[in-house]
């Protein structure tokens, strides 16, 4: 069975993977709307920090992973390379350019909510570093993204429940960490109220659409993880009982079967390796929230190990997965999240 906790060897391996792609500009899947001919620019011209890793959001969480690993293992072999990278990238002029991009009229929905969520998660991790200058330098962009959540959530009548970047439960869950680290009580309240508005009445989730052919999140499990993060335990546990009432019977069965990946050179199909890793993260986190005497705790932890074993060996098999999968492996392996 695959080890279920992050090891030094894994941390060094994952860090080397990310160091190899966060400044790799091509290939690149540019998510960019052109309003005029002069808007046709290269990735690094558009985004002087987050231009690598195939796409903006993957680059953001590549930096998050590097920051997390550096904090976990401040003296490990890649540490000096990570610090040197951050010293070069998290500087005022580059942050200003990234921030200015979001002021473009055509960028109103840019990377909503997945990229927003990871940017706040990165800011959270940088705030925990022994050197907080990187986080302070990123702050102008961080505040833009936090304001994006404040502006968008009251207008978002309905949640998005898909298993891809548009899932709103993932956005709330990651933003909650930032709200806590920044002591932003108003944002924390907005996140909680939005989660309750969207999800509080959900019950007996069938998970019938899982997995879809390009899922990298479980719409059922990430909703549960979102509510675990937003609610006090006394409110979460009754909600969870209603949401997945047959968990002790390992039902819905689809949530317990790791996804099969037929072609890791296909970027969409390769998402399914990420589904296995993100499910492992959710199962572990949900299991940890259950009382020690609750038999569902062991069931959840076993499901986490099974999904981790399915996804972990394939992180570096092809660039379509390599540019992002390690971040989800760290979520799955690191008990802090």
| Cα gap 196→248, rounded to integer Å | 25
| Cα gap 180→182, rounded to integer Å | 5
pLDDT for 81? 98
| Cα gap 148→309, rounded to integer Å | 37
| Cα gap 46→130, rounded to integer Å | 30
| Cα gap 222→307, rounded to integer Å | 15
pLDDT along the chain (337 residues), means of 10: 80 98 98 96 98 98 98 98 98 98 97 98 97 96 98 98 98 98 98 98 96 97 98 98 98 98 97 98 98 97 98 96 98 89
Task: Tell me the DSSP string of 219-274.
Answer: HHHHHHHHHHHHS-HHHHHHHHHHHSTTGGGT-SGGGGSPPP-S-TTSTTTTHHHH
pLDDT for 4? 73
DSSP 276: H
Give me the sign of the Cα torsion angle 153, 60, 13, 21.
positive
Residue 131 CA: distances (Å) to CA of 16, 49, 318: 21, 19, 34
| Cα gap 320→22, rounded to integer Å | 14
Q: Which two tokens stand for residue 173?
A: 């869950």
| Cα gap 145→175, rounded to integer Å | 10
Q: Which two tokens stand for residue 263?
A: 């072609």
Residue 333 CA: distances (Å) to CA of 84, 210, 307, 313, 326: 26, 23, 11, 13, 10
CB 324 within 8 Å of CB 61: yes
149-157 long-range Cβ contacts below 8 angstroms, 24+ apart: 149/113, 149/116, 149/120, 149/175, 149/187, 149/190, 149/191, 150/186, 150/187, 150/190, 152/112, 152/113, 153/190, 153/191, 153/194, 154/190, 156/194
pLDDT for 3? 55
Residue in this structure with the two tokens 């259950």, named with its chain if needed: 290
Cα Rg of the chain (Å, integer) = 19
| Cα gap 98→140, rounded to integer Å | 9
């Amino acid at each position: 069975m695959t080890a279920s906790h992050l090891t030094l060897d894994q941390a060094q391996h994952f860090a080397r993977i990310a160091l190899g792609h966060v400044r790799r500009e091509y290939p690149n899947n540019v998510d960019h709307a052109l309003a005029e001919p002069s808007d046709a620019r290269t990735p690094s011209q558009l985004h002087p920090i987050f231009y690598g890793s195939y796409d903006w959001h993957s680059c953001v969480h590549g930096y998050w992973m590097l920051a997390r690993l550096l904090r976990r293992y401040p003296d490990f072999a890649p540490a000096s390379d990570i610090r040197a990278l951050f010293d070069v990238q998290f500087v005022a002029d580059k942050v200003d350019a990234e921030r200015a991009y979001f002021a473009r009229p055509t960028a109103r929905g840019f990377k909503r909510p997945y990229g927003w969520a990871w940017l706040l998660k990165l800011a959270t991790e940088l705030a925990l570093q022994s050197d907080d200058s990187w986080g302070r330098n990123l702050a102008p962009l961080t505040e833009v993204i936090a304001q994006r959540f404040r502006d968008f959530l009251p207008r978002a009548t309905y949640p998005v429940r898909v298993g891809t970047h548009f899932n709103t439960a993932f956005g709330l869950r990651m933003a909650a960490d930032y709200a806590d680290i920044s002591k932003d009580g108003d944002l924390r309240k907005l996140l909680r109220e939005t989660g309750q508005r969207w999800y509080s009445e959900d019950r007996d989730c069938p998970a019938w659409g899982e997995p879809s052919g390009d899922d990298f999140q479980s719409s059922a499990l990430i909703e549960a993880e979102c509510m675990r993060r937003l609610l006090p335990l006394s409110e979460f546990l009754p909600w969870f009982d209603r949401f997945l009432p047959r968990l002790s019977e390992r039902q819905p069965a689809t949530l317990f079967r790791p996804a099969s990946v037929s072609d890791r050179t296909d970027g969409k199909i390769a998402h399914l390796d990420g589904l296995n890793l993100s499910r492992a993260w959710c199962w572990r986190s949900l299991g940890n929230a259950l009382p020690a005497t609750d038999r569902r705790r062991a069931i959840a932890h076993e499901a986490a190990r099974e999904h981790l074993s399915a996804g972990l060996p394939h992180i570096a098999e092809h660039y379509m997965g390599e540019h992002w999968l390690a971040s989800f492996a760290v979520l799955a392996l690191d008990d802090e999240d």
